[in-house]
Amino acid sequence: MEHLSKILNTRTTVPDGTKDLPKSGSASRGVGISLDGLQFKYPNGRHVLKGVSLEIEPGQSVAFVGPSGSGKSTLLRLILRTYDTSDGFVQLNSTPVKELKQASVREVTAVVPQDTVLFNGSIFDNIQYGKPGASREAVVAAAEAAQLHAAIQRMPAGYDTVVGERGLKLSGGEKQRVAIARAFLRNPELLVCDEATSALDSGTERGIMASLRELSRGRTSLFVAHRLSTVRHCDRIFVMEKGVVVEEGSHDTLMEKGGLYSRMWAMQQWDRDADKKKGADGDGSGSESGSGNGGGAVAAGALN
């Protein structure tokens, strides 16, 4: 409790703004994002971003890909202003993010993370956590949109089923669908997916991505991913390397360029084909299971 009190009493180094996030003024629902000369250094001196400039129109789906350490996740944190930039600026709907109230930005944002945080309560309460106070009808509608409702109906107590500490009774796919249901419940204008499927097997990943594509429709969506197959549907893909954007365009455009993106794609396709061959040889390495099943998943395999 002393540690918790110390954390709660710690003052933020990111001062809050005074303005509410204005509407984009666009016919499309979503948040317009502008980055100009964005640079960022961590306190240890590591220079992560080295002059990133780009424009994202309201309603666009955009992906950031590239090798580990290229600055993809840091870019998301600066857009949501969990850090302040070292140089350059971020604008949301033509307003500098430093001038905006953080609460007004978070109110229109939903995040689907790599590791979904669940608490030892009912699955209803875990979904409602996305929007505390939401009605049961809204929670059920969100679960249906996330393709989780049928699996919940097969659980021992339906929506009142207790998921266990950190959701240990749920499979990896079910945990991610809880995160997606929370996002549907929030009905955001800005959707952020940071490696949302990286811990899942390829079969479960396909189902999760179908739900994410449905969720991203008609709103500004930002995806960070290592698996390029999960972001090939995006309107624009920014390829990052060593803190700068080295390529941008649609999947087809980037493949035609024959640059870093196409090399990464070819390498991942080769790895996937190699895994399939190992599985066909009968050594078992090609068999994948949902992350987090732990042998005790509720309605095991229901989402896989």
- Residue 300 or 206, more confident: 206
pLDDT for 281: 64
- Residue 22 or 270, more confident: 22
Can you tell me the distance from the alpha carbon of 71 to that of 52, in angstroms, rounded to the nearest whole number?
10
pLDDT at 200 over 70: no
Can you tell me the distance from the alpha carbon of 296 to that of 170, in angstroms, rounded to the nearest whole number?
8
Q: If we measure between CA atoms, which residue out of 55, 62, 66, 48 comes closest to residue 239? A: 66
Note the pTM of the prediction, 2 decimals: 0.80
pLDDT for 223: 92
- Contact criterion met (CB below 8 Å) for 242 and 39: no
Calculate the CA dihedral of residues 243, 248, 251, 253 and round it to 10 degrees. Answer: -140
CA distances from 236 to 159, 177, 252 (A): 38, 25, 10
Q: If we measure between CA atoms, which residue out of 106, 107, 89 comes closest to residue 34? A: 89
pLDDT for 199: 62
Domains of the chain are 26-280 (3.40.50.300)
| Three-state helix/strand/coil letters over 56-112 | ECCCCEEEEECCCCCCHHHHHHHHCCCCCCCEEEEEECCEEHHHECHHHHHHCEEEE
Identify the burial level of 187 via C-beta atoms within 10 angstroms of its C-beta, where 0-12 means exposed, 13-18 middle and 19 or more buried.
Answer: middle
Calculate the CA dihedral of residues 33, 77, 128, 29 and round it to 10 degrees. Answer: 0
Residue type, 173: G
Q: What is the Cα 167 distance to its own chain's centre?
A: 19
Task: Please enumerate in sequence order all residues whose Cβ is within 8 A of that of 107, keeping only pairs 6 or more positions apart, or say none.
Answer: 21
Range 17-45 average pLDDT? 87
pLDDT digits (tens, 9 = 90+) for 47-81: 999 999 999 999 999 999 998 888 998 999 999 99
Range 249-272 average pLDDT? 89
Sign of CA dihedral 134, 136, 138, 144: positive
pLDDT for 298: 34
pLDDT at 295 over 70: no
Which of 47-51, 272-276, 283-287 has the highest mean predicted lDDT (pLDDT)? Answer: 47-51
Q: Which of 93-97, 211-215, 271-275, 292-296 has the lowest mean pLDDT?
A: 292-296
Range 237-257 average pLDDT? 94
The residue assigned the tokens 């129109």 is 57
